Homo-oligomer: A and B are copies of this chain.
Amino acid sequence: MQEALTQEQIFVTVDIMALTVQDGELKLLLSRRVRPPDQGRWALFGKLIGVEETAETAAKALLEEMLPVREVFLEQLYTFSDRERDPRGRVISIAYLAVLPWKELQGVLSAGDPKLRLFTLHADGGGLRLGSPDGTELTGEDLAFDHGTIVETGLLRLRGKLHYTDIAFHFLNDTRSFFLSELQGVFEAVLDKPVDGSNFRRAMLGRYVDTGRMVQVEHPSTARRRGRGRPAALYCLTED
């Protein structure tokens, strides 16, 4: 006979830190809380996990609640369990990092829900700096609960993983047709500093083209013009 488990109630939630790159800037999707606690503050998306859900599936479900069905990059970040992180009780949060192409979000945001907003995300030196087009400037402290801490953790993780994983590609609107400069723009937005084009090109060509994971699909000379400057080559990510 196996014993039954007994434990005082602990609530378990998932929180999603949804990121995208728009206009060369890293942006974080936040929602304004409409009720206490922390009413009126900006927060990550979160929900309680159902008994029939894993943390993964709960996070996916939460994302799909607001986005058209589509596969997005989702990765577990860290689990936060400070006693005072939620005044409603003992709430443990499993935080996830989501990476979205800007085009995915465009539709959702153009609906004009004032409770949803994209904030530019910077973290030079001490803390976070969040900005919105209407001039609002926030720090990590201004976010609801411990969400400032979560965002800091996520940003560090993202920056680290940029170099040795394929995570940057998930920011692209179309992985089957993009310029290297677009990819470079993602790197620059995430790292929040300029990247040397020459080295970047060499690195990507060596890491992806030489291994067949990426191919040039259109030669610049045959392409239609796309704005100023020398036409760029189009690349396509191959799936395997």
Contacts and interface: CB of A to CB of B under 8 A. Distances in A.
Interface string A70-98: 00000010110111000111111010000
A5 interface: yes
Interface string A1-41: 11111011111100000000000000000000001110000
A12 B92 contact: yes
A94 B76 CA distance: 12
B35 A88 contact: no
Contact of A5 (B1, B51, B82, B88): B88
A36 B2 contact: yes
Mostly, the A contact residues are: loop
A55 interface: yes
A52 interface: yes
Number of copies: 2
Interface in A82-117: 82-83, 87-92, 94
B89 A35 contact: no
Contacts of A52: 83
Interface string A170-210: 00000000000000000000000000000000000000000
Contacts of A51: 7-10, 90
Interface of A: 1-5, 7-12, 35-37, 48-56, 76, 78-79, 81-83, 87-92, 94
A202 to B, nearest CB: 23
A81 B76 CA distance: 11
A154 to B, nearest CB: 14
Given A2-B88, A36-B2, A92-B55, A7 B79 contact: no
28 contacts: A2-B35, A2-B36, A2-B37, A2-B88, A3-B88, A4-B89, A5-B48, A5-B88, A5-B91, A7-B9, A7-B11, A7-B12, A7-B48, A9-B51, A10-B11, A10-B12, A10-B51, A51-B90, A52-B83, A53-B83, A54-B81, A54-B82, A54-B83, A55-B79, A56-B81, A76-B78, A79-B94, A92-B94
**A-B interface, 9 closest residue pairs, ranked by CB to CB distance from nearest:** A2-B36, A55-B81, A8-B51, A79-B79, A54-B81, A7-B48, A51-B90, A10-B12, A79-B94
Contacts of A12: 7, 10, 12, 92
